[in-house]
Amino acid sequence: MTLVDPWLQPELPPARYVSDASVMSCRRFSDGRVIAEVFRRDVGSFGGRFVAWIARRDAGDMIRDHAWDVVRETGIIAESLGSAQALADLTAQESGLLSSGPWMDAV
């Protein structure tokens, strides 16, 4: 997972992922610990970001908790859902992520 700093690597399996209301579709990558989200912007266009299951550590390197958190905003601005998904797939490929499923409608 090149999008996630090694210091943030989790030690627990992922909790259930729940997207926020703006997310239109999502796709799992790696071992399910990284998820691409395509969301609708306020102006009607689409954007993309990657969230990951991470460990939050304190200054002493002790894990305090685990959470889903945004690890990369892609800067995608697309006019269609399909275009935003394709751009997110390209970003994932460039980051060395392997898809572990199709794009799904967000719930």
Cα 40 to the chain's mean position, in Å?
Answer: 15
Residues 53, 14 contacting (CB under 8 angstroms): yes
As a whole number of angstroms, the distance between CA 81 and CA 25 comes to 8
At residue 1, the pLDDT reads 41
Q: Which tens digit of pLDDT belongs to each residue from 5-42?
A: 888 889 999 999 999 999 999 999 877 889 999 999 98
The runs of H, that is alpha helices, within the chain are 81-94
Q: Are strands 104-105 and 23-29 parallel, antiparallel or unpaired?
A: antiparallel
Q: Which tens digit of pLDDT belongs to each residue from 55-74?
A: 999 999 899 999 999 999 88
